[in-house]
Amino acid sequence: MSQYAISQRKLLGIAGLGWMFDAMDVGMLSFIIAALQKEWGLTAQQMGWIGSMNSIGMAVGALVFGLLADKIGRKQVFILTLLLFSLGSGLSALTTTLAAFLVLRFIVGMGLGGELPVASTLVSESVAASERGKVVVLLESFWALGWLLSALISYFIIPSYGWKLALLLSAIPALYALYLRLNLPDSPRFTKPKAESNVLANVIKVWSSAYRRETIMLWVLWFAVVFSYYGMFLWLPSVMVIKGFSLIQSFQYVLIMTLAQLPGYFSAAWLIERLGRKFVLIVYLMGTAVSAYFFGNAESHAFLMLFGILLSFFNLGAWGALYAYTPEQYPTSIRGTGAGMAASFGRVGGILGPLLVGYLVAQKVGVTTIFTIFCISIFIGVLAVWILGKETKQQELA
């Protein structure tokens, strides 16, 4: 296929389906953790390590594959990472020990961590500046479809047929990745003739005086967002159980909350080209922080559902803006490196978040206190964007 022969809609669909499969795997993990706790008798700390091992792999994958994307191209890395996480997820269904499961979650995490920033970079470089933000947020909206799919599979499959069948179903994207190899063109920017890139030089340039402000802002923002997201959402079904719901009830409520992600994305996509990246990030992150605080304090079913829905709405809308904003901070020669390094540092937060929840739950710390911690971390991310961030709405990529 010609480099320029693919339409914007088809590019969005191809990249978005890969994104959806990623989300399906991450979303399913939150339900599988709750199921494994009952089947394997896991402690709270062991449950936390499952989520954190996934994030350790994502941190490594974001860094390694972000650097690789500036060397061999966005397309090849996108396909490689999609295959890696799909096959690792399928093999996870064959495990019988926690140790083996953790090793495979690391491999799955590498694929996930590498694919997400590379896919957003590929789409950013292939779309006109006037629509770039909207299209990248729409790409991110496929994450909600993946979470919805994971919630449906978890609700209908795990209670009746077990978590292993659910994981085998998540391996299907490996076949789709082979199709991508034939149908997805690489970024038109990357394939233009350019000097041989040097990995170390790219890393140094990301932290040079020209981009230091952007890099600091992104690293703080990514850490705050990922720390709070994985701390809250990987534990969401388990938190519902802690609050007195049965496992099946918790799956039902999380499924309803997941539906709120889609309007969160679509509203962010509509606003991002009208009011700008900074506006959407600040408003949606503030909404996330407030929702997290009241969700942690909710005692009635009605308030739990209300603030759970608002949490999903604002948090995932903010994620869409984050993925649109990140690649716009760097020129093409270091865009994959810069986005990958920021995402990699953010994944450190994804390691610490689930571990912190596991530790605090084991220490009998209340859900209110736990969610207040995440509320504070999100406010720190808001301050980073407000003080250090620059508006990039409809600017041509350097």
DSSP 3-state assignment of 5?
coil
Is 1 inside a domain boundary?
no
Kindly report the average pLDDT of the chain as a whole number.
Answer: 82
Residues 6+ apart with CB under 8 A from 388: 213, 214, 216, 217, 220
Residues 6+ apart with CB under 8 A from 72: none
pLDDT in tens, 56-99: 888 898 888 888 888 888 888 888 888 888 888 888 888 888 99
Number of helical H runs and strand E runs in the chain: 17, 0
**Percentage of the residues of the chain whose pLDDT score is greater than 70:** 90
Is 395 inside a domain boundary?
no
Backbone φ and ψ of 48, nearest 5°: -65, -35
Is 2 inside a domain boundary?
no
Contact status, residue 33 vs residue 234, Cβ threshold 8 Å: yes
The residue range of the domain holding 302 is: 8-187+196-388
Rounded to an integer, what distance in angstroms lies between the CA atom of residue 240 and that of residue 247? Answer: 8
Query: Residue 145's closest CA among 239, 45, 16, 59?
Result: 16
Contact status, residue 328 vs residue 397, Cβ threshold 8 Å: yes
Rounded to an integer, what distance in angstroms lies between the CA atom of residue 266 and that of residue 207? Answer: 34
Rounded to an integer, what distance in angstroms lies between the CA atom of residue 142 and that of residue 232? Answer: 20
Q: What is the pLDDT of residue 379?
A: 95
pLDDT in tens, 98-128: 999 999 999 988 988 888 778 877 887 877 7
For the chain, the domain total comes to 1
pLDDT in tens, 333-349: 888 888 889 988 988 88
Rounded to an integer, what distance in angstroms lies between the CA atom of residue 15 and that of residue 75? Answer: 10
Q: What is the pLDDT of residue 208?
A: 93
Contact status, residue 55 vs residue 230, Cβ threshold 8 Å: yes
Rounded to an integer, what distance in angstroms lies between the CA atom of residue 103 and that of residue 65? Answer: 19
Is 393 inside a domain boundary?
no
The model's confidence at residue 223, banded by pLDDT at 50, 70 and 90, is: very high
Q: DSSP characters for 18-82? A: HHHHHHHHHHHHHHHHHHHHHHH---HHHHHHHHHHHHHHHHHHHHHHHHHHHHH-HHHHHHHHH
pLDDT in tens, 342-383: 988 988 888 888 788 888 888 888 888 888 999 999 999 999
Rounded to an integer, what distance in angstroms lies between the CA atom of residue 263 and that of residue 301? Answer: 22
Highest mean pLDDT among 120-124, 183-187, 216-220, 271-275: 216-220
Going through 114-204 in order, the beta strands assigned E by DSSP cover none
Contact status, residue 115 vs residue 82, Cβ threshold 8 Å: yes
Is 151 inside a domain boundary?
yes
Is 162 inside a domain boundary?
yes
Is 36 inside a domain boundary?
yes
pLDDT in tens, 166-185: 888 877 766 776 676 667 77
97-134 burial: b if 16+ Cβ within 10 Å, else e:
eeeebbbbbbbbbbbbbbbbbbbbbbbbbbbeeeebbb
Is 352 inside a domain boundary?
yes
This model's pTM is above 0.85? no
CATH number for position 360: 1.20.1250.20
